[in-house]
Chains A and B, each alone.
Chain A
């Protein structure tokens, strides 16, 4: 009851946490989802222009001049995975043993170093945020296919990425894959990765997830690369 009272108080005075980011994207959405699990009130401060987070004022918050940034009562946090871990601890989504905790870390880092670069190339190019040539695009696709297979092989034998229940690792990687599953991964890709599809469907259908991303939409016709 005390926490709810504090939450309500915060709503009138100041939210306990502020998230600075653009409106829609896998990094900010995974943070908002984790905040729901953790019952942490987060005020979403939305930037619409790139210049908004290059101001001297913003550099005080994050010297890297990048988003997302979380403002906590204790101070500022940058790096989306660090923010994810911060909320995961409060939401008890960080595994139930030392080994499971390490597995969560493992998959979160894998998400940053292995999955995000080629997947980002595909998604941003498809949506016209960046432009890459045909060669780079198909290279990125090949890389992503290989990574999906790694996930699929693991998920054939495991219901979730770490331990026996949902963790921050599942939420982070499912968020990263949401655009791809909705716009890029057609029947062929889904058939080639049945366990991955099963897992994605389960994670993306959790109420905290659909509150932020909306309901799961299965891709029928993949979007083509913009010429």
Chain B
């Protein structure tokens, strides 16, 4: 197995909640790379203005993170990076249909799950404050998405096929902050299969190595500035 030294940029803000929404996407890739046994060299950027420099824009003209530097070239879009690793880690399903299901859930993650999750997290961090009305709408959108996941996971142990795939890892990363900060006992009771699946994937050794042991939310965190 070829060991690649890849540099990886993400944005780490030093607040009480040190993990930012960007980090969630980045860590997905690290997780997958643990499965793929690829060496990843992490580069932490401390300030968003770093991504506007000419030097960085040459790497990713979008001026965003995460960005992966491979021996062949640069990749942006976190899901593309996830798929890149998933193929090497054999976490992309065992046949064409399962592969498409993985793609389905990865795309669903971006369109249905991450928007409300990111808004909640950035609100909590004080970057993009929202009012009560927006909060209620976002919360009900999120619960709707969770219900869809829960319904699928009542009948399926994992999202695609009968073993862990990149889809499971990626969605668990999107939901990790939720389960740690927002989804208290009351919410978890509404979604038992989702909770079951989350705990299973979050306790896989490769995931534990990156996120650590999850402490389920006791009290839902409210806004603070």
Interface centre among A165, A199, A206 (most CB of B within 10 A): A165
Partner-binding segment picked from B18-26, B106-114, B154-162: B154-162
> CA–CA, A164 to B163, complex, Å?
12
Known pairs A164-B203, A164-B204; A194 contacts B154 (CB<8 A):
yes
Which chain B residues (64-105) contact chain A, with CB distance < 8 Å? none
By secondary structure, the A interface counts as helix
Cross-chain contact B195 with A164 (CB below 8 angstroms): no
Q: How far is the CA of A198 from the CA of B200 in the complex (A)?
A: 15
Is the CB–CB distance between A159 and B197 below 8 Å?
Answer: yes
Q: How large is the interface on A (under 10, 10 to 19, 20 to 34, 35 or more residues)?
A: 10 to 19
Given A159-B200, A165-B204; A198-B162 close (CB under 8 Å): no
B162 touching A201, Cβ below 8 Å: yes
Give residues 181-210 of A contacting B (CB, 8 Å). 194-195, 197-199, 201-202, 205-206
Given contacts A164-B203, A202-B157, 7 further A-B contacts (CB under 8 A): A159-B200, A160-B200, A195-B154, A198-B156, A198-B157, A202-B158, A206-B162
Known: A164-B203, A165-B204. A157 touches B157 (CB 8 A): no
User: Which single member of A156, A197, A202, A206 contacts B192 (CB below 8 Å)?
Assistant: A156
Tell me how many residue pairs across A and B have CB atoms closer than 8 Å.
41
* Residue A158 at the chain B interface, CB threshold 8 Å: yes
Interface residues on chain B, size class: 10 to 19
A164 to B204, CA, bound (A): 7
- State the CA gap A164–B200 with chains docked (Å): 5
Q: Give the chain B neighbours of A199 by CB distance below 8 A.
A: 157
Q: Taking beta carbons and an 8 Å cutoff, which residues of B are in contact with A?
A: 154-158, 162-163, 192-193, 195-197, 199-201, 203-204
B18 to chain A, nearest CB (A): 26
- Residues of chain A touching chain B, judged by Cβ–Cβ distance below 8 Å, are 156-160, 164-165, 194-195, 197-199, 201-202, 205-206
- B155-A156 in contact (CB<8A): no
Closest B residue to A207 using CB positions: B94
Query: Closest chain A residue to B203 by CB distance?
Result: A164
A205 to B204, CA, bound (A): 20
Instruction: Tell me the complex Cα distance, A198–B155, Å.
Output: 5
In whole angstroms, how far apart are the Cα atoms of A165 and B200 in the complex? 8
